[in-house]
Amino acid sequence: MEPEEYENKELIPPGMTGDSYELWKHYEEEMAMGQQRLTAEQRLQFKREREALVGSLITQEGPLLGGLVKEHVRGSQYVVCKADGTEVFASHKKPRKGHSTASKSLSQAGWSVWNDRG
């Protein structure tokens, strides 16, 4: 949706188009759903949790089983050395509280080979 199609045109920041408009729209939708920005303390906590996975062996069944987490790239993306020695990008999604995988360790669930979306 382009800015001229948006219902509340008066709320659109001036000069907002394309990708920046989509980011702004996403932010507005998050705020409408009650989602808040992370605090500095939360950002630091999550950064430490992501960095703590480096050096872990992946015990989740599937193509990454036995892989070594070599490096944190950004967000949920990591470099993983698979058991056969090849390096791949992988993403890790932390289990949500109350989900069936929540009781598993971080190396047991949530891993997938990362695919470019473009």
Q: What is the DSSP string of 21-69?
A: HHHHHHHHHHHHTT--PPPHHHHHHHHHHHHHTTTPBP-SSSTTTT-EE
pLDDT digit string, tens, across residues 2-54 = 445 545 555 555 555 556 666 666 666 766 666 677 788 888 888 888 888 99
Which pLDDT score, from 0 to 100, does residue 49 have? Answer: 86
Q: Tell me the residue length of the chain.
A: 118
Which pLDDT score, from 0 to 100, does residue 3 have? Answer: 46
Q: What pTM, to 2 d.p., does this model score?
A: 0.59
Q: Which residues pair with 4 in a beta bridge?
A: none
Nearest CA among 85, 26, 90, 36 for reference residue 60:
90
Please check the confidence at residue 68 and state whether its pLDDT lies above 90.
Answer: yes
Q: Provide the 8-state DSSP code for 57.
A: B
